[in-house]
Amino acid sequence: MGKVKKLRDLIGVIKDKASLSKAALLSKPNTLSLHVAVLRATTHSSSTPPDVKHLESLLSLGDASRATASALVESLMDRLHRTGDSSVVLKCLLTIHHIINRGPFILQDQLSIFPSFGGHNYLKLSAFRDGATATTWVLSAWVRWYARYLETLLSTSRTLGFFLCSCSSTLEKDKQDERLSSFMTVDLIRDVDSLVGLIEEICKAPDSLHVEGNRLLDEIMGLVGGDYLSAVNEVSLRLSEFMERLSCLSFGESVELMCCLNRLEDCKERLVVGSFAIQKPSTETLWGLIRELKNRVGMIDVYRESGKLVSVGRREKGTESARFGDRVVKYGDSVQFSSSRFGLDKLSFMVLN
């Protein structure tokens, strides 16, 4: 097995050098540095994350202009879809994650609209398989999950109006936090539903975390863990707002809220004892809010049907399953981001289901 790995790494080094030579010969002078930056950040070395120096260089290049940022994203996506190597794909996805979390806004903006405004299978990796070795087969499962997770993260960010765990979105996020009391209940439910969907996707991470001490997977899980804590904070803020308006909720709104709370509780076991067992005051606050809200909704919000009072918690499952109806964002609906392009240009983004 060790000899196979060494041979594969050697072949990877040769491929990386060939790719750099090809880029030097075929790239236009104004895009050569972009292609080289992408190649250096996504080498074939099987278990190491992108070199910090190369990653910083890539992020810096993406801050030059909108045209440069667009070309860089296109080069990264081309690298992602042309390779069949699981390690290279994971590095491409990890680079995308770094752009979302700490890239310059102009680069984030171009990522968010490439190639057709995101949506289901945005990264087109749901069928990825690398069967070269037993290890790459396991890593293929990570590729499929990580791509789905990033697709969900981008979708949730569109719903919220800011990138969930991004420094460039801090100001816009703080503004939203201050305005939560003015949000319509349907918007709060929409936000919570989207955040719960992200947490559910986190819980689907493969169990095989340490594949031969793979540092690449460790870094991926570190970033996802940071996103999880950000999602916990955002959910808690919205659940706290629901505590203030419980008596004003309609029965339908209560049912939708209860569905979200039940889905969160279904995630608890994986989050408390699994890979994301992060002991923080914010996580304890979330589980406490969920318990209290469920108790209060069950007592306060009742409705009369055929002369009988039925508590929210006991309503028929079939009724609960029709949670969002026409509130779900459908193909062709517009979702407004709120900062820079999200706010200054007032451009709406189309979301694909």
Query: pLDDT value at position 300?
Result: 59
Tokens found for residue 303? 């409705």
Cβ(249)–Cβ(188) below 8 Å: no
Alpha helices in the chain (DSSP H): 2-26, 32-41, 52-61, 66-82, 86-102, 105-112, 134-160, 170-179, 185-202, 215-244, 251-273, 281-300, 317-321
Tokens found for residue 140? 């293929």
Please tell me the distance from the alpha carbon of residue 197 to that of residue 220, in angstroms, as a whole number.
Answer: 19
Closest C-alpha among 48, 134, 44, 129 to residue 88:
44
CA 60 to chain centre: 22
Query: pLDDT value at position 330?
Result: 39
Contacts of residue 125, Cβ cutoff 8 Å, sequence gap at least 6: 80, 89, 143, 144, 147
Query: pLDDT value at position 309?
Result: 45
How would you write the pLDDT of the chain (353 residues) with one tens digit per residue? 555 555 555 455 556 555 555 555 455 656 788 989 999 999 987 778 999 999 999 999 999 899 999 999 999 999 999 999 999 999 999 999 999 999 999 999 999 887 655 556 689 899 999 998 888 999 999 999 999 999 999 999 999 988 988 877 777 778 887 889 999 999 999 999 999 999 999 999 998 766 667 889 989 999 999 999 999 999 999 999 999 998 888 889 999 999 999 999 999 888 877 666 677 888 999 999 999 999 888 775 454 344 444 444 444 444 433 333 343 333 344 334 334 334 333 333 333 33
Please tell me the distance from the alpha carbon of residue 206 to that of residue 186, in angstroms, as a whole number.
Answer: 33
Rounded to 5°, the CA angle 212-216-219 comes to 125
Rounded to 5°, the CA angle 347-348-352 comes to 145
Please tell me the distance from the alpha carbon of residue 353 to that of residue 351, in angstroms, as a whole number.
Answer: 6
Q: Which CATH architecture has domain 2-350?
A: Alpha Horseshoe (1.25)
Residue ranges of domains in the chain: 2-350
Cβ(8)–Cβ(85) below 8 Å: no
Tokens found for residue 179? 């305005």
Greatest Cα pair distance, the chain, in angstroms, is 79
Beta strands in the chain (DSSP E): 302-305, 308-311, 334-336, 348-350
240-253 burial, b at 16+ Cβ within 10 Å, e below that, comes to ebbeeebeebebeb
Q: What is the pTM of this model?
A: 0.79
Query: SS3 breakdown of the chain: % helix, strand, coil, rounded to 5?
Result: 65, 5, 30
Tokens found for residue 352? 């694909």
Q: Count, in order, helices (H) and strands (E) of the chain.
A: 13, 4
Q: Which residues pair with 304 in a beta bridge?
A: 309
Cβ(60)–Cβ(79) below 8 Å: no
